[in-house]
């Protein structure tokens, strides 16, 4: 029998990683001598593929070089400021105790995402890390479906911080739980059709089906 499964986005959902992403994104412009966009402008685009983000702010002919510069810089600096959000390790431990399979579905490449999860100390709490490797990105459901296949899970929820996460979860047939502490605000997430919009992940346990878990608990904050 397959286990009930919950799929999480990574950046802006489990880990407060946006400062390091934004810093590396803007650093690439400096390497090429191009004026970078503001941090606020970059933050609003996080969740899209890297090249797509650069296309928003740079000439097409510079996009490949900018993406390459980012990929050189970010792996050396992805843990400068990034940390799991408060309560995340406890939440994942509680879900594991209740018998849920836990997967990550991220726009990061799988190798980079796996390194990052290990650096954040979350690897032992996650059954599978699925990056977007050469197939359609969110809001297409591909990365979510591949994550569920990898854990042989009966998907219940997609948890994320962007409209792309909400769209991917809905397209995969999952209920969607959206947090506002990442990239997109509550208004945008509700407009995208999220089933639940919350300021953090603490309420996720209360949304789970009573029959799916072993016991009810609370996240220690």
Q: Which residues are catalytic?
A: 9, 11
CA separation for the pair 177, 115 (Å, rounded): 25
Neighbours of 180 (CB within 10 A): 18
Q: How many residues does this entry show for the chain?
A: 221
**Pairing, β 175-179 against β 196-198:** parallel
Q: Which two tokens stand for residue 10?
A: 């990574």
How does strand 83-84 pair with strand 15-16? antiparallel
Contact yes or no for 156/175 (Cβ under 8 A): yes
């Amino acid at each position: 029998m397959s286990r009930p499964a919950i799929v999480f986005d990574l950046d802006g959902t489990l880990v407060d990683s946006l400062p390091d992403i934004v810093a590396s994104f803007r650093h690439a412009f400096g390497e090429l001598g191009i004026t970078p966009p503001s941090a606020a402008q970059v933050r609003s685009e996080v969740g899209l593929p890297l090249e797509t983000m650069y296309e928003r702010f740079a000439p097409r002919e510079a996009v490949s070089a900018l993406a390459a510069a980012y990929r050189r810089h970010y792996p050396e600096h992805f843990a400068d400021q990034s940390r799991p959000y408060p309560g995340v390790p406890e939440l994942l431990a509680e879900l594991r105790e209740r018998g849920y399979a836990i997967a990550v579905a991220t726009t990061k490449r799988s190798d980079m995402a796996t390194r990052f999860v290990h650096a954040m100390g979350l690897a032992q709490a996650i059954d599978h890390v699925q990056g977007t490797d050469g197939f359609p990105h969110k809001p297409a459901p591909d990365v979510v479906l591949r994550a569920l296949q990898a854990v042989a899970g009966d998907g219940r929820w997609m948890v994320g911080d962007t409209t792309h996460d909400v769209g991917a979860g809905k397209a995969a047939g999952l209920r969607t739980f959206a947090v506002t502490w990442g990239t997109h605000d509550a208004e945008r997430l509700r407009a995208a059709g999220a089933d639940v919009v919350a300021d953090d992940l603490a309420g996720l346990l209360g949304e789970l089906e009573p029959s799916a878990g072993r016991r009810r608990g609370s996240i220690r904050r």
